[in-house]
Amino acid sequence: MRGRSAFLLLLFASVVSVHADERIDFASQIKPLLSDRCYTCHGPDAANRAAELRLDLPDEARKPLASDGAAHAIVPGAPDQSVLLQRVFADDPDLVMPPPDSRLSLTANEKELLKRWIEQGAEWQLHWAFVAPQKAALPSVKLPNWCRNEIDHFVLSRMETAGLSPAAPTDRARLLRRATFDLTGLPPTITELDSFLADDSPQAFEKVVDRLLAAPQFGERMAADWMDVSRYSDTYGYQVDRDRFVWPWRDWVIDAFNSDKPYDRFVIEQLAGDELPDSDESTVIATGMLRLGTWDDEPNDIEEYQYDRLEDLVHATSTAFLGLTVKCARCHDHKFDPIPQTDYYRVAAAFWAGPVKHRARELLGGPTQEELGYDVLGCGEHVSFYGDT
């Protein structure tokens, strides 16, 4: 019995030791904790900030405290010198943080998590959208000759770490099928398959890829994801769910991929194509992105619905171009990302400069058909991006 108890004790100790050695992930374990328990008084809101202490920015959290220039809230690698931990673990209700009356008290596990994070260096991780892409060094692999390109090095490295061996090369028929589905969303035809199998040249597959990239279906395949991000649909949604006439924007996106339009131009034309010095019918159609999303032609509260539409527009453009979700900041400073409520409404104000209301023959903040001098939509007299007025 004693032997069994000793074994269980050792097993438990080993589990705890392994758990304690795990690297704390700031984004998933620490940032939510600080955001929920600390940012209300020590976050981006200067008006409500206590003790002149900010815990949402690493440089601010590590600088000397305003109340004691010799002390620091967080000292990386030194939990015993970090005032944050001293206050978190304090027994005195007048000193402990968060204050007991806030109903945000930390559990024992959460306190230990903060301690381990500081012990490990209190590393901050920026949101991936704020990190500039950098070319990663190629990992070393045991079978370098298996790699045909740089991506293969990373794939093989992970496989070797997992104890897996590369599969044998697939046959040419499957290779063609995979490439055709990837680039066009369609299977190869019998003629295309026969032609590829009959081509024994070293450039056979390269020619297939070039042909697929030049096919009209390539743009359709690539545009599908962007149309999802942009809230595209052929109908309005809600009860009526009538057909809408935004297909010119859909075709513009497809053509942008097929013509390899530069990304900066792709963005600018969709946000302000009607304001460009070289504006034309195509660039105005691009701004159709700002008129997508569902449309309720009989809202209960018209004024409130205009703000709902504005929120949809701010959220869609922020998600598409910034890689962030900003809906939280409509009602309060964002809990995780550095987006104060004031910035949210600054962005919204830029869109509010143009009407969000239901109007015929006008784009968001843009000119009418008569002012443009041409029919930007190419459809009926009383049709707009939202439908009839």
153 & 115 share domain = no
Copy the structure tokens of residue 193.
């398959």
Q: Which of 144, 168, 192 finishes a domain?
A: 168
Question: How far is the C-alpha of 250 from the C-alpha of 348, rounded, in Å?
Answer: 25
2 in any annotated domain: no
Domain that holds residue 62: 22-125
227 in any annotated domain: no
pLDDT for 227 equals: 96
26 & 118 share domain = yes
Domains in the chain: how many in total? 4
112 & 139 share domain = no
73 in any annotated domain: yes
Write out pLDDT tens, residues 299-329.
Answer: 888 888 888 889 999 999 999 999 888 988 9
pLDDT for 368 equals: 54
107 & 150 share domain = no
Question: How far is the C-alpha of 270 from the C-alpha of 377, rounded, in Å?
Answer: 15
Positive/negative CA dihedral, 19, 25, 26, 32: negative
pLDDT for 371 equals: 52
84 & 179 share domain = no
251 & 353 share domain = yes
| Secondary structure percentages of the chain, helix, strand, coil, to 5 | 55, 0, 45
Are the C-beta atoms of residues 338 and 56 closer than 8 Å to each other? yes
115 & 139 share domain = no
DSSP states along 257-293: HHTT--HHHHHHHHHHGGGSTT--HHHHHHGGGGG-S
204 & 107 share domain = no
367 & 265 share domain = yes
pLDDT for 29 equals: 93
Write out pLDDT tens, residues 133-143.
Answer: 889 999 999 99
- What share of the chain has pLDDT > 90, as a percent? 61
pTM here is 0.72
17 in any annotated domain: no
Q: Which residues of the chain have pLDDT under 70?
A: 1-21, 335-336, 353-389
Q: Mind spelling out the 3-state secondary structure of 7-49?
A: HHHHHHHHHHHHHHHCCCCHHHHHHHHHHHHCHHHHCCCHHHC
229 in any annotated domain: no
6 in any annotated domain: no
Closest to 220 measured CA to CA, from 183, 262, 266: 183
204 & 280 share domain = no
241 in any annotated domain: no
Question: How far is the C-alpha of 207 from the C-alpha of 229, rounded, in Å?
Answer: 32
Question: How far is the C-alpha of 158 from the C-alpha of 274, rounded, in Å?
Answer: 48
71 & 116 share domain = yes
88 in any annotated domain: yes
276 & 205 share domain = no
